Amino acid sequence: MSPTPPPPHVERTVTPPSPVGTDRTGPPPQQPAHLSTLRLHQLRTGELDPPQARAAQAHLDACPDCRRRMQSQQAFRHAFELQPPPVALPSPSPSPWAALSRWARWAPLPVLVAALALVAVRVVPSPIDAGPDAGPDAGSDTRLKGAQDLVVLVAGHGVLDPGEAIHPGDRLQLRVPAGAWQEAWVGDADGLIGHFELQTDRPTLSPFALTVDGEPGDEHLFVVLSDDPLDEEAAEAALAGRRMDGVSVRRLDLDKEH
Amino acid sequence: MQSDASAIDVAVLYQRHGDLVYGRCLGMLRNEADAVDASQEVFLRVHRHAEGFRGQSKASTWLYRIATNVCLNVIRSRSRHPEDPVEEVPDLSPAPVGDSVLDTLALRQLVEQLLLGWDERTQQCVVYHFMDGMTHDEVGELLGISGAAVRKRLARFRIESQARFPCWSGWQGDLSEDPR
C-alpha cells in the first residue's frame, strides 16, 4: 500500500508579484489572458452556459498554459477522489492511515458525516451469512474485488486490482459504472451500511468511505443495485436473499492482510 | 433511513466541487490542516444554508465565494494571533488548481500581508483579481457589484499598497484598466 500520493506537481515561479493578464503585450482588454481557476473548474464540470463554454474552450484550445492548468486541476481532482470523506466503519486506533489522510479529520463531525455521506450510518443486524455461498445470486453475481463492473478504490492507492489485499486502516470507496441502476445499497456481514444514488450517464463514486477494521478474517461487502429507488426494508430483504425484479446483489470478497 | 433534501444537496455539492473548495483553501491558507478545517467550515455553512443556494448562480461560484470568505476569516484571525505560528506547507499550496503565476508563493504571501487592514469587500476583490485572475467584471459578478466598482477598489488598493510595499511598484498602471 503506498502512502497518500503527492499533489500534482505544479511549476512554481517565485517572482515579484505580477497579476495575470497585466502583460501589455498580451491580448487586448476584455480578452482573457488566462482563464481563472474558477472558470476552468466550471468548464470541467459543465457548469458554463453554452456561449461561455464555447469561449472558454476556445481559449483553452489556444492557450498552453491554461491547458496545463486544466490538466493540473484534473490530476488534483483524481487525487482528491481517492481521499474519501467520512468514515462509515470503525477503524482500529490508532490507524496508520489517519496520519496520512487529510479527510480523517472530518470523521468526528457527525453533522457533516450525515450531510455528506447521505446515509445515517447504522448497522442493522441481518441474516447475511458471510460465508462463501452467502447472499442471493451468489453464483452468477459474485465478483472478486469488483471485477468487471464494480470497482473498489483504496485511498491513496487507487483501484484495488484482483489479487491485491486490503489492510486494517484502509479506506475504501466503491465506484459503480454508469448503467440502468438508480440506487446502490452497501452492506457487510453485519447489515446495511449506507446507500447512494447513481448517475446513469457516468460512473458514481460512493459518497462515503469504509475504513477496514482490524478484525481477523477477510471482508465481504454486498452491493444491492436497483433499477428503481429502493427503501431500506427492501434492501435488507434483497440482502437476505429475496429475489426482486430490477434488483441485483453483488458480492465483493476482499482479502485482508494483517 | 432517510436523508433530507439539504443533505442530498450538500453531498452532491461536495462530490462535484469538493476539490475546488479544498484547493481554494489550500491555496489561500498554505497549510493543510487549516485548509481541511476551512473546507469543513465551508460545507458546514452550506449545510446550514442549503436553502439559500437553490435558484442562485452556479453552485461552484457560490461555494467559491464561501470558501474565500472563510479563508479570509482565517487569515484575519491569524493576524490577530501572530503568536501562533503557521506551519506553511508550500509544496501543498494551491498546486491542486495550479497556477504558475497567480499562485506563486511570493504573491500569496504579499497579498496576505496587504489584506490586513482593508475592508472585507476590498479584500475579496484583491483575492479574486490578483490571486484568481478574474476580470473586473467577473469579480463584480461574483460579488454582486459592478466591474467599475471593482476597478475603483483595486485602484485605491494599488495606490496605498505601493506606498507601503515598494516592491509592488511593478503594478503601476496595471489596475487602471481591466488587464483582461
* pLDDT tens per residue across span B118-142: 888 998 998 888 878 888 998 998 8
Q: Searching chain A, which residue's CA lies closest to the CA of residue B67?
A: A38
| Yes or no, beta carbons of A17 and B3 under 8 Å apart | no
Least confident among A61-75, A133-147, A176-190: A133-147
**B chain contacts of residue A17, beta-carbon cutoff 8 Å:** 104, 106-107, 110-111, 130, 167-168, 170-171
What pLDDT sits at residue A59? 92
pLDDT at A67 over 70: yes
| Yes or no, beta carbons of A105 and B33 under 8 Å apart | yes
| Yes or no, beta carbons of A21 and B111 under 8 Å apart | no
User: A139 or A66, which is more confident?
Assistant: A66
What pLDDT sits at residue B58? 84
| DSSP string over B119-173 | -HHHHHHHIIIIIT---HHHHHHHHTS-HHHHHHHHHHHHHHHHHH-GGGGGGTT
Across the A/B interface, how many CB contacts are shorter than 8 Å? 200
pLDDT at A87 over 50: no
Cell numbers standing for residue A143: 465478483
**A chain contacts of residue B32, beta-carbon cutoff 8 Å:** 102
- Please state the three-class secondary structure of B34-83 as a single string: HHHHHHHHHHHHHHHCHHHCCCCCCHHHHHHHHHHHHHHHHHHHHHHCCC
Residues 6 or more apart whose Cβ sits within 8 Å of residue B17: A41, A45, B59, B60, B63
Strands A171-176 and A204-205: antiparallel
What pLDDT sits at residue B53? 61
pTM of the model: 0.53
Q: Searching chain A, which residue's CA lies closest to the CA of residue B130?
A: A19
Q: Which of A82-96, A125-139, A199-213 has the highest mean pLDDT?
A: A199-213
A147 HSE (CA, 13 A, CB side):
11
Cell numbers standing for residue A149: 463492473
| Yes or no, beta carbons of A18 and B101 under 8 Å apart | yes
Under the banding of pLDDT at 50, 70 and 90, the label for residue A5 is: very low
What pLDDT sits at residue A8? 35
Q: Which of A11-25, A102-116, B158-172 has the highest mean pLDDT?
A: B158-172
- Please state the three-class secondary structure of chain A as a single string: CCCCCCCCCCCCCCCCCCCCCCCCCCCCCCCCCCCCHHHHHHHHCCCCCHHHHHHHHHHHHHCHHHHHHHHHHHHHHHHHHCCCCCECCCCCCCCCCCCCCHHHHHCCCHHHHHHHHCCCCCCCCCCCCCCCCCCCCHHHHEEECCCCCCEEEECCCEECCCCCCECCCCEEEEEECCCCCCEEEEEECCEEEEEEECCCCCCEECCCEEECCCCCCCEEEEEEEECCCCCHHHHHHHHCCCCCCCEEEEEEEECECC
pLDDT at A141 over 50: no
Share of chain B above pLDDT 90, in %: 14
B42-77: per-residue pLDDT in tens?
Answer: 888 887 776 666 555 788 988 999 999 999 888 888
